[in-house]
Amino acid sequence: MLLIPGSQGLLAVKLSRLTGFKLGYAQLEKLPNGEKYIRVSGEITGDVVIVNSLAHNPDEMIMESLFLAETLKEYGAKRVFAVFPYLPYSRERAIRGEAFPIKAIAKIFSCLDRMYVVDFHLEDMIPEFPFEVVNLTAMEELAKYAENFDVKDPVVIAPDEEALRWASIVAEKLGIDCYYMKKIRVDAENVIIESAPHEAQGKDIIIVDDMIATGSTVVQAIKVLKRIGCGKIYVLCTHPVLAADALRRIFENGAEEVIGTDTVPSPISYVSVAPIIAKALVES
């Protein structure tokens, strides 16, 4: 199996070390007119894995990965897999008339034979993809990191009901209780957290969510938890997208630490998803 990193494919190096799979190369350039130039080198045979985080400049990274997949198939790859640890456009459609891009993404990547993702937000959409999608979770790895937090009698808090599926994994791994908060989303950057569970009062808190983008949900959750008199607050997430000043606002509102994974390269990517992806690749 050959690993080919995309422009945001640093994870391929870690995967190569863990699996022993050969690390390949593709020439990826952006031309002066804005178009992408793709060229694969060497003999292409057997199974090939594209590794690319699609977080930063997602439209460009999607097209780059698509062109690379098609080129690999054209030049002899038997099967082409993709490791997209962060898959963008994973928000629910909120109101009538909104685009739902994930359906188009599923179609345009039809040349793939398998896709590996991590904590994919729209898990219910997986049956819509015309190829196998392996959805892994980083929550147990994040829970291992959280074992070193300086907390006393903590509880895990999901900042909304949807995040409960991830928060419950961390809570189970740590052997502590888990609760969720009620959220109303106003728009892409603003949310309202209605209340905090009374069980959080006086407790140290570990907030768990799959993604931090604008940071609004986490910031509002921290404010509400502080109002009821909770103790220290730590934050875990799989995908630290961290748009604009998200990280600064989270710390300013009282977070002790904010920990993410390397599905998205960031200043808080302390936990690597390479081991869980490597295991899945080897087992396949």
pLDDT digits (tens, 9 = 90+) for 46-59: 999 999 999 989 99
Say if CB 256 and CB 225 are below 8 A apart.
no
β-bridge pairing 233-240 and 205-212: parallel
Q: Which domains does the chain have, with CATH numbers?
A: 2-137+272-283 (3.40.50.2020), 139-262 (3.40.50.2020)
pLDDT digits (tens, 9 = 90+) for 100-126: 899 999 999 999 999 999 999 999 899
- C-alpha distances in Å from residue 86, one per residue of 76, 95, 273: 27, 24, 11
Which residues are marked as active site? 183
pLDDT digits (tens, 9 = 90+) for 231-246: 999 999 999 999 889 9
- 223 is written with which tokens? 């404010």
Say if CB 210 and CB 217 are below 8 A apart.
no
pTM of this structure: 0.93
